[in-house]
Amino acid sequence: MPKKTILLILGLLISGVAGYNFKTDPYTKEAVKNGFLNNYKVYAIPIPDSLQLVDEPVPVKQKDVKERIDRELLVNTYWQSNGLLLLKRKNKYFPIIESILKQESVPDDFKYLAVAESGLQNITSPAGAKGFWQIMKKTGKELGLEINEEVDERYNLEKATVAACQYLKKAKQQYGSWTLAAASYNAGMNKISKELERQKVNNYYDLLLNSETSRYVPRIIALKHILEHPKDFGFVFSQDDLYTPYESYEIKIDTAIEDLALFAKEHNMTYKELKLLNPWLRSDKLTNKKGKTYRIKVLKKK
């Protein structure tokens, strides 16, 4: 790597440190001297004249809507490391989500809602929402998910996706709009219904909402646009760079498992691999007092 390139990178890294002085920093001064920084540019992102969420047009001519879309396009384009990670993960997880959305008659665009919620990771929010679809405990139980100390199906991608579909279909029936259904996934149906009535409007883009929900739908739209056209936004990668799932199959278990590490060993895999394949198993055992049938993924033998 050329010396001036290294100096630029170091300078830019240092620029994130509190108290950094661009004018006196020796690395960036050297980069400027070599003329390298003169070639570094940050470009505005063109906003398409026509955008849609499902089959509902986005009114990009409205000034506030245009600015909200612009913000999410910029944030999600120039956060390059996160963008590449999303592109890698979607190759691994989108086929699973797409299949369930189709089975549940929910539009394919809602896979980008999962991206907006979790970045396609089994994370926990400060409020306690969990999994790819960021489902709260109470809501999860209402949607039929098992949630306890040993099993938390919010971490089961297949079951959580079905649960999210149930919610979205109910919201669509309530509002007649998939965009409002998406907004309610963030704010809750009660909040959206109250605001529609209070503000005397009937669509998401005419609502004045809190910052989080105001950004929520534009973020989904921006993520959809970027992930569908990654090379237009400067992302360069090959198929080999993308993540792929483990090769596995399911076995049915209707008895207790006293030791999941031993169970994993008996099925020719490690405890770690068992948990990566089945993140909904939250303990080191499965008591299963009611004799419920569980479908557990195990690695295919090599």
- Check whether residue 34 and residue 90 sit in a common domain: no
Residues 74-122 have pLDDT tens digits of 999 999 999 999 999 999 999 999 999 999 999 999 999 999 999 999 9
- Check whether residue 163 and residue 232 sit in a common domain: yes
What CATH number did the domain enclosing 231 receive?
Answer: 1.10.530.10
Domain count, the chain: 3
Note whether 155 and 130 are within 8 A (CB).
yes
**Mean pLDDT across the chain:** 92
Residues above pLDDT 90, as percent of the chain: 85
Of 193, 218, 240, the residue that ends a domain is: 240
Burial class (CB in 10 A: 0-12, 13-18, 19+), 85: middle
Question: Which pLDDT does position 127 carry in this prediction?
Answer: 94
Residues 153-165 have pLDDT tens digits of 999 999 999 999 9
Note whether 112 and 266 are within 8 A (CB).
no
- Check whether residue 116 and residue 85 sit in a common domain: yes
Note whether residue 119 is domain-resident.
yes
Residues above pLDDT 70, as percent of the chain: 87
Which domain does 277 fall in, by range?
Answer: 246-299
Question: Which pLDDT does position 41 carry in this prediction?
Answer: 82
In this prediction, residue 42 has a pLDDT band, given cuts at 50, 70 and 90, of: confident
- Check whether residue 226 and residue 157 sit in a common domain: yes
Question: Which pLDDT does position 37 carry in this prediction?
Answer: 61
Which pTM does this prediction carry? 0.88
- Check whether residue 235 and residue 250 sit in a common domain: no
Residue 293 has pLDDT above 70, yes or no: yes
